[in-house]
Amino acid sequence: MVASLTMTTGPVHGGGWWDRLWQAKPTGPSRTNRDLENAHTVQMTELTGSTGASAAKALTAQLTASGEVQVLDKSARFTLSGDSVGGRLNVKLHDRAGKLIFERTYAAPGLTDNVKALTDDVLFAVTGRQGLASSQIAFVSDVSGTKQIYVCDADGGNVQQVTRHPHGAVSPALSPDFLAFTGYGTGFPCVVLVDMGAGMERQVASTPGQNSGAAFAPDGRSVALTMSFIGNPEIFVLDLPSSNAVCVTESVGTPCSPSWHPDGEKIVFSSNEGDGPQLFLVDIGSETSAQRWPCGHRFATDPEWSPDGKQIALTTRSGADYAVAVKSYPEGPSRIVQKGGAQHPSFSPDGRSLAYVQNGQLWVHDLTTDKRRSVVSGRGTISEPRWMR
């Protein structure tokens, strides 16, 4: 099926802010260096300035907590130097040979945010993997009396309510710049985009019928979502700058919960075509119809691709309860990660952990060690966590 639509979006406040969002942004130097050795050790020289000591202490704690980097007093593979005044950070990272890896300034309003951003940059430069210090998890909670969207840090701290819609808000998706969610202000389910920096929001899909379950493409300029304005619900890809929507499925079921492969060319989604929810794959750039993907489970929904594209997490059933599973892609073993009602899995940016909900709490589960911890509880019933991607 080929169907397309140019969306007519809701009113925009703030002039041309929407157009400015999609203008090309200058890119800084690459955060990777392929010549780095594998020794994940960092030495910090004294950070000068009025907040230098506090910054050094906080940075050491963040790097140590990551479990990826060891902070040494001497003889480390990398050396970090710089200063901090008023919470602002100016730093340089060198390797042992004295080669400059990066030189950056971090000027967020608070020292904490600057330290988190620096932590992630150091982790990426040293290990080649994304850090979690500045990442966030979006989730739904009914603690206010209606379902609303909240965000928290990767460790469950700094919980903040984002939406306050009288009819509720569900199905969040979080990118570094935007939050997308499903709201009900128009009488139909509609997809709303929030600029997390400016606090501006805009309806990006509000056609008659269903508009729900947005998932950001890897480049952040498109979302996949379920829309039903043509009749049967289908998966569409909506280009955010132009508001053009293109149908990519032709289903006899109810496709939902799309998730992008990191190459931006494939989408996995769940659909019930009469024998329970199963997973399907569609190649965005081809004319081939969506194909069922054998995941090894008779019940499969809530799929999400890992950041490296080598695994798909999903919600299945174990006995009478929900369970979270991870299946290798394109083929390979599947394993149950957590039973007892766990559901809605979402990969961390480094692919090492899963966030999911169980018994109304938000959990983070380390897939390497198989250890888990409850990071948010006591805030009503929590559902639908999504890690920032």
Do 223 and 191 touch, CB atoms closer than 8 A? yes
Above pLDDT 70, what percent of the chain? 91
With a cut of 80, say whether residue 170 has pLDDT above it: yes
Query: Is the backbone of residue 384 left (phi > 0), alpha (psi -120 to 50) or beta?
Result: left
Which pLDDT belongs to residue 286? Answer: 85
Residue 30 has pLDDT above 50, yes or no: no
What length does the chain have? 389
Contact 216, 196 (CB under 8 A): no
**pLDDT per residue as tens digits for the range 326-382:** 999 999 999 999 999 999 999 999 999 999 999 999 999 999 999 999 999 999 999
Mean pLDDT of 189-207: 93
pLDDT > 70? residue 28: no
User: For residue 52, which phi and psi values (nearest 5 degrees)?
Assistant: -65, -45
Backbone angles phi, psi at 324, to 5 degrees: -100, 130
Give the mean pLDDT of 92-105.
96
Residue 13 has pLDDT above 90, yes or no: no
CB contact at 8 A, 373 and 383: no
- Identify the pLDDT of residue 215: 98
Q: For residue 129, how many other CB atoms are within 10 A of its CB?
A: 17
The full DSSP string for 246-277 is EE----SS--EEEEE-TTSSEEEEEEESSSSE
Q: Per the structure block, which two tokens stand in for 190?
A: 């509609």
pLDDT at 25: 60
Structure tokens at 307: 């950041």
Mean pLDDT, to the nearest integer, of 195-214?
93
Q: What is the pLDDT at residue 104?
A: 97
Cα first-last separation, the chain: 29
Q: Determine phi and psi for 145, rounding to 5 degrees.
A: 110, -25
Q: Mind spelling out the 3-state secondary structure of 215-239?
A: EECCCCCEEEEEECCCCCCEEEEEE
Q: Where are the domains of the chain?
A: 41-127, 135-387
Give me the amino acid identity at 29: P
Measured between alpha carbons, how far is 316 from 299 in angstroms, rounded to an integer? 5
The span from the CA of 370 to the CA of 202, in Å, is 40
Consecutive H or E run containing 336: strand 334-338
E strand or H helix at 57, and its extent? helix 52-66
Residue 145: per-residue pLDDT: 96
Is residue 35 pLDDT above 50, yes or no? no
pLDDT at 39: 77
Quick: pLDDT tens for 114-126.
999 999 999 999 9
The pTM (predicted TM-score) of the whole model is 0.86
- Side-chain half-sphere CA neighbours of 263 within 13 A: 8
Q: What is the pLDDT of residue 4?
A: 66
Q: Assign domain 41-127 one CATH number from 2.40.128, 3.30.160, 2.30.30, 3.40.50.
A: 3.30.160
At residue 14, the pLDDT reads 46
The second-level CATH assignment, the architecture, of 135-387 is: 6 Propeller (2.120)
Distance, in Å, from the CA atom of 245 to the CA atom of 360, rounded to the nearest integer, reads 35
Taking residues 383-387, report their average pLDDT.
98
What number is the average pLDDT over the span 48-52? 97
Strand, coil or helix: 124: helix
Q: How far apart are CA 247 and CA 235, in angstroms?
A: 6
